[in-house]
A and B are shown apart, each in its own frame.
Chain A
């Protein structure tokens, strides 16, 4: 790479005027100055990584519209409808919010048990991972570092999300109501009781 730099230096240049009697009037000043330091040995540049990430392979049992049991988190045990798989690989899931209080949420498929129940979903508006992105904490400059944060930094749901939730619920809830008892099924929570063993269950 050093050879490349030198050759570029020698090829390009600006003609600059210099004052002073004995300074020669004009001289070519290189556009790119040669580096002040260079390593004694040429170092290899690593090959460019051309890997493109694919979303995780969806289990065959999970399909848009399938009802799924959340296994962890604040909504554990709740039965919930899968809307689709997002480009990040996570599942986009909704209660629907009106039925069991689970909002539009992303869930990893390993934290979910797929049941054989499926809901016929109508065409839904396109949703990506962007609405779920959290805004980073504001970086404090030196003065503010010692001042106690007066503002409330807790997470507040954006109006955009609330509107999107209403829009999607308006499509999903009627589809749920069409199926007999599905609404009360989604309201109930999954739990293991005495004598129940998951390896014996058919979900």
Chain B
């Protein structure tokens, strides 16, 4: 079965912040190809997956397979500014090592 890519790539650029304080419960995500606030409308509400590797293998409860891959799920909340960056919140806050890391912006829940 050929793998298919059904998500958009995004990059975590940091947390919502003022110059000297930051709110780590809200991450900022820059989605590939999205450069204006109007473009972000498609992505609002879409689920985001931050996929990362751990050192030890764990059994995935759904696929029942041992894997080192782990996910933190979240969703796109709203636009951030006018240049296409987006605010996202995750089930548990993203760890700071995620800053600069790739994130998958899925195509569901779909409104098309």
A residues in contact (CB < 8 Å) with B: 59, 61, 71-72, 76-77, 109-114, 189-193, 197-200, 203
Contact = CB atoms under 8 A, between A and B. Distances in A.
B34 A197 contact: yes
Contacts of B108: 71-72, 110-111
Contacts of B5: 191-193
Contacts of A111: 108-110
Contacts of A109: 110
A147 B62 CA distance: 25
Contacts, number: 56
Contact of A71 (B33, B41, B43, B110): B110
Instruction: Classify the interface of chain A: helix, strand, loop or mixed.
Output: loop
Contacts of A112: 110
B42 interface: yes
7 contacts: A71-B6, A71-B107, A72-B6, A110-B108, A112-B110, A192-B6, A193-B5
Main SS at interface, chain B: loop
Interface in B8-60: 8, 32-34, 39-43
Contacts of B34: 197, 199
Contacts of B109: 110-111
Contact of A77 (B4, B40, B111): B4
B2 A198 contact: no
Contact of B33 (A59, A114, A199): A199
Contacts of B90: none
Given A71-B6, A191-B5, A192-B8, A199 B43 contact: yes
